């Protein structure tokens, strides 16, 4: 890739590692919420500012990395296996077993058993060829999705963490909205539901940090109008035995999809609590005290008698070099293992790698650095693992003590 196109690709990868031209008033502004600003949103523990394209992206990062030949070519392509479509489609209803299938980058199909059946949950669906606003430039897929859109089971819930192009793909969400059997329920941070509505996607609920929704137990497609939402961080208890709750939780990141909308939509992670599986998905994030806060706040729902901590956490392990540039917005594997431990997760799956070459580490480097971090922090190999693209990991069901 020439220097010119490498710089363009880096600038487009999340719609702008670029300082925006201007901002609009925040229609969600609530003076009582510390992460709200009159013109957008902010992180809990730092005042994040997107980088300037010329001084930071081009002169500070891209030019020096280009002269150094970064990123290096992978020693071997990230592994790929044929998906177990027979299991994925048969794994449904009251007999559903907890399972996660790595589709690529941050897209994971998680099959979550519930008290009355099961949910097919999809995180940050990106099935397109490029993570970019244009078709001719920007990061291109290194490998196809591990499960094609047409081969997915009926998706019940889509969790979208933020609006960067490698996490929110227009073609993918439109295709999911048109799936046979009715659209999924899209659960998104503040500000993304209007973007979806402009594209004909109406079955969406947007949440602020620590808002939660309780999913209806009715049969058939989940409808936004049937979900019960608790606003303004109104605790973590549920008065509905056997219910499934989804919380939007804080993350240290940012948002922008163009040159004039930086920080105007919220970002975050998700905690999905089902009686038979507790799932965590961080979205994109830098390392912060947010994760200790999340564990402390959810601790009353995760006592040993109730089955313990998260049964599965989806944590990013890629797109972390150079550290001076990425540290505020993307964790490295060492920090991701620290998050795994702080969340008291039983097991974690490393995501956000193997698909798009976004930063200076080789595409196959994250699992190597993850292995070093696990050993240094005394975490077992099977407690924090990666999967081949297309691979499914079956998990034990959550067990509460009577």
The CA distance from 351 to 81, in Å, is 16
Reported in sequence order, the residue ranges of 283-339 that DSSP labels E, i.e. its strands, are: 312-316
What pLDDT sits at residue 22?
53
What pLDDT sits at residue 21?
46
Candidates 163, 227, 223, 226; CA nearest to 199 is 163
Please, what sign has the CA dihedral across residues 284, 288, 290, 292?
positive
**How remote is the C-alpha of 129 from its chain's centroid?**
19
The CA distance from 205 to 229, in Å, is 9
pLDDT averages per 10-residue partition of the chain, 402 residues? 41 42 82 96 93 88 93 95 98 96 98 94 97 86 97 98 98 98 97 98 97 82 86 68 92 92 96 97 98 96 95 98 96 98 98 96 98 98 98 94 60
Tokens linked to 368? 């190597």
Which domains are present in the chain? Answer: 85-394 (3.60.15.10)
What pTM did the predictor assign? 0.94
What pLDDT sits at residue 16?
41
Contact indicator for 221, 182 with CB cutoff of 8 Å:
yes
The CA distance from 117 to 223, in Å, is 17
Contacts of 219 (CB under 8 A, 6+ apart): 117
Candidates 329, 381, 325; CA nearest to 350 is 381
Tokens linked to 288? 């912060």
Please compute Rg for the chain using Cα positions: 20
The CA distance from 239 to 71, in Å, is 51
The CA distance from 169 to 104, in Å, is 13
The CA distance from 138 to 358, in Å, is 9
DSSP label at 97? Answer: P
Q: What is the pLDDT of residues 252-295, one digit of tens each?
A: 999 999 888 999 999 999 999 999 999 999 999 999 999 999 99
What pLDDT sits at residue 122?
98
């Amino acid at each position: 890739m020439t220097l010119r196109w490498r710089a363009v690709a880096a600038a487009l990868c999340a719609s702008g590692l670029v300082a925006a031209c201007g901002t609009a008033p925040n229609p969600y502004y609530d003076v009582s919420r510390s992460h709200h600003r009159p013109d957008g949103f902010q992180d809990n523990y730092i005042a994040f500012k997107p980088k300037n394209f010329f001084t930071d992206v081009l002169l500070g990062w891209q030019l020096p990395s280009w002269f150094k030949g970064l990123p290096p070519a992978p020693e071997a392509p990230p592994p790929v296996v044929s998906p177990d479509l027979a299991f994925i489609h048969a794994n449904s209803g009251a007999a559903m077993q907890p399972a996660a299938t790595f589709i690529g980058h941050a897209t994971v199909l998680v099959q979550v058993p519930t008290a009355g059946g099961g949910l097919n949950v999809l995180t940050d669906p990106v099935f397109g060829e490029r993570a970019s606003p244009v078709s001719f430039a920007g990061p291109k897929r290194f490998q196809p999705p591990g499960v094609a859109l047409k081969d997915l089971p009926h998706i019940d819930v889509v969790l979208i963490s933020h609006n960067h192009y490698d996490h929110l793909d227009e073609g993918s969400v439109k295709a999911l909205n048109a799936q046979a059997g009715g659209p999924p329920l899209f659960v998104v941070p503040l500000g993304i539901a209007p973007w979806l509505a402009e594209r004909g996607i109406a079955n969406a609920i947007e949440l602020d940090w620590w808002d939660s929704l309780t999913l209806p137990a009715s049969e058939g497609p989940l409808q936004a109008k049937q979900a019960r939402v608790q606003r303004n961080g109104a605790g973590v208890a549920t008065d509905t035995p056997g219910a499934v709750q989804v919380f939007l939780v804080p993350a240290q990141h940012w948002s922008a999809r163009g040159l004039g909308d930086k920080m105007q939509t919220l970002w975050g992670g998700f905690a999905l609590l089902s009686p038979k599986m507790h799932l965590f998905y961080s979205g994109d994030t830098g390392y912060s005290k947010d994760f200790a806060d999340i564990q402390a706040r959810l601790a009353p729902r995760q006592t040993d008698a109730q089955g313990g901590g998260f049964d599965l956490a989806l944590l990013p392990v890629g797109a972390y070099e150079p550290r001076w540039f990425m540290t505020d917005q993307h964790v490295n594997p060492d920090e991701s293992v620290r998050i795994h431990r702080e969340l008291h997760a039983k097991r974690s799956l490393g995501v956000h790698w193997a698909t798009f070459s976004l930063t200076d580490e080789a595409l196959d480097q994250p699992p190597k650095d993850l292995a070093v971090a696990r050993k240094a922090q005394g975490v077992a190999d099977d407690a924090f693992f990666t999967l081949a693209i297309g691979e499914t990991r079956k998990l034990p069901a959550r067990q509460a003590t009577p």
